[in-house]
Amino acid sequence: MTVEDVTETIRSLTPEEQESVRQFVDFLKRRDSSSPFLAAVDEFIDLHPELLRRLAQ
């Protein structure tokens, strides 16, 4: 899935669903990033701050 696909999928969500995604990302950021999945989440967050900022709106 490309960044554009993820962006479009998130845009199609209701504001409540977008807030849930934002909260999930925040939850993952607070956890120990010793797993490969969490490291990938951290990398995504670092690479796409604008997308996440828009989600928070």
Give the residue, 57 or 50, on which the prediction is more confident: 50
pLDDT of residue 12: 92
Buried/exposed code over 8-27 (b: 16+ C-beta within 10 A; e: otherwise): eebeeeeeeebeebbeeeee
Residue-wise pLDDT for 1-50, tens only, equals 788 888 888 889 999 999 988 888 888 777 765 778 878 888 888 898 88
DSSP letter at 34 equals T
Tokens of 40: 């990938």
What CA–CA distance (Å, rounded) separates 52 from 36?
21
pLDDT of residue 16: 92
